[in-house]
Amino acid sequence: MFVKHGMSQLTSLSSARNCTLSSSAVLRRQHFLIRSLGGGVHSNFCTQNRMQETKPLEADAENILRAITPTLDPTRHKGQAGKIAVIGGCREYTGAPYFAAISALKIGADLSHVFCTKDAAPVIKSYSPELIVHPILEESYSIGDGDKKYISGKVVAEVDKWMERFDCLVVGPGLGRDPFLLDCVSEIIKQARQSNVPIVLDGDGLFLVTNSIDLVSGYPLAVLTPNVNEYKRLVQKVLNCEVNDQDTQGQLLSLSRRIGGVTILRKGKSDLITDGEIVKSVSIYGSPRRCGGQGDILSGSVAVFLSWARQYILAAEGNVTLRPTNPTVLGCIAGSALLRKAASLAFENRKRSTLTGDIIEYLGRSLEDICPAY
């Protein structure tokens, strides 16, 4: 791994030593390798690396999509292809949770739930009868101070009733930033962790965990999907420095390791994915349109593919030949590749008027091209 990722990674590996590596033998070996390559040992994650950065390895996304997508087997019953829940949707934002939840269904999940505020629920229901919408979240403006404890307990208990049934949660699309609501969502995240339910954190879910990183720290089933702003905030808060474009991979690895090896999908011209061990990129051509909502499609897609990757690994009973082997990384690669392919097809048709809804309409065909139903 050291040789594969080159000098920049070595430098950041050594920087990460205090929090990620306990074995002095491993440390000695790293220092030896760094010296052999002519580098120094730095104590700071944010050290500028002036070496030419090596490109991350492009993921074999099509192969991964083919491997983890389940066959349409007539013996399977409803639910086995995935039950996803989106925690998001408030007064301001109703589109984002809808995009995430409907994308999960269009890719092939069986059931898609949305847990949102009371105001947002009828609006989201009106977009689609396919979604199961729970109007349970509350914002500060709608409750008195004296009621907060009682209502918070009720909200959390309501989601907990369902928790064990979900294959993955998507926390954040259109959630908003109301402090009371975010406190409730913190409790929901803790419950999901206790139940070992994977969590994709996006949008305001990332705003929440960036300010309370312990919520996800060390949870191997957490996936963070930051856009450019969200990534900047994460780096500033967790690594206490600015984004380093000279050492993109090294900094991404350091960030993941500092958060205990959570998976991070950094969105951009190429999507970069790491679990603190490897970095993979997905660069297949997408669309030049940057309309809002594409990240929401991605979060719903990652949730489905992550669930499928876990099923695939479980069914293989230790004989997994697919690489990488981490289901959260597989889910990110598959979700990113599918979104980008769908965006490219939508753009071919709609050009400048391409909107998120158009991209969603191409999710099915994009998967069908790679992995036909029959």
Ligand X SMILES: NC(=O)C1=CN([C@@H]2O[C@H](COP(=O)(O)OP(=O)(O)OC[C@H]3O[C@@H](n4cnc5c(N)ncnc54)[C@H](OP(=O)(O)O)[C@@H]3O)[C@@H](O)[C@H]2O)[C@@H](O)CC1
d(CA 49, CA 127) in angstroms, rounded, equals 49
Binding mask 202-241 for ligand X (x = CB under 6 A): -xx----------------------x-xx-----------
User: Who's near 87: CB < 8 A, 6+ residues apart?
Assistant: 115, 116, 137, 159, 169, 170, 171, 172, 175, 185, 188, 205
Of 14, 49, 103, 336, which one interacts with ligand ATP (CB under 6 A)?
336
Applying CB under 6 A, does 355 fall inside the site for ligand ATP?
no
Applying CB under 5 A, does 203 fall inside the site for Mg ion?
yes
Residue nearest to Mg ion (CB): 295
Applying CB under 6 A, does 292 fall inside the site for ligand ATP?
yes
Q: Please tell me whether 227 is known to bind a ligand.
A: yes
Shortest separation between residue 267's beta carbon and Mg ion, angstroms: 8
Q: Which residue has the tokens 């996803």?
A: 84
Applying CB under 6 A, does 204 fall inside the site for ligand ATP?
no
- Answer whether 34's CB lies under 8 Å from 10's CB: yes
Span 222-241, contacts to ligand ATP by CB under 6 A: 227
- Answer whether 366's CB lies under 8 Å from 285's CB: no
Applying CB under 5 A, does 295 fall inside the site for Mg ion?
yes
Class of residue 226 by CB neighbours under 10 A (exposed 0-12, middle 13-18, buried 19+) = buried
- Answer whether 59's CB lies under 8 Å from 273's CB: yes
Applying CB under 6 A, does 343 fall inside the site for ligand X?
no
Span 241-270, contacts to ligand ATP by CB under 6 A: 267-269
Specify the DSSP element, H or E, that contains 11. helix 2-15
Q: Is 59 helix (H, G, I), strand (E, B) or coil?
A: coil
Residue 91: phi and psi, rounded to 5, are: -55, -45
Applying CB under 5 A, does 176 fall inside the site for Mg ion?
no
Q: Which residue has the tokens 């120094």?
A: 40
d(CA 64, CA 102) in angstroms, rounded, equals 22
Distance between first and last Cα of the chain: 38
d(CA 69, CA 108) in angstroms, rounded, equals 9
Applying CB under 6 A, does 295 fall inside the site for ligand ATP?
yes
**Residues near ligand ATP (CB under 6 A), total:** 17
Applying CB under 6 A, does 358 fall inside the site for ligand X?
no
- Given Mg ion, ligand ATP, ligand X, none, residue 336, with its beta carbon under 5 to 8 Å by kind, binds ligand ATP
- Given Mg ion, ligand X, ligand ATP, none, residue 240, with its beta carbon under 5 to 8 Å by kind, binds none
Applying CB under 6 A, does 293 fall inside the site for ligand X?
yes
d(CA 247, CA 364) in angstroms, rounded, equals 36
Residue 120: phi and psi, rounded to 5, are: -80, -25
Annotation: binding site for (6S)-NADPHX: 174, 227-233, 296
- Residue numbers of the site for ligand ATP (CB under 6 A)? 203, 227, 267-269, 271, 286, 290, 292-296, 298, 336, 339-340
- Residue numbers of the site for ligand X (CB under 6 A)? 93, 95-96, 173-177, 203-204, 227, 229-230, 292-293, 295-296
- Residue numbers of the site for Mg ion (CB under 5 A)? 203, 295
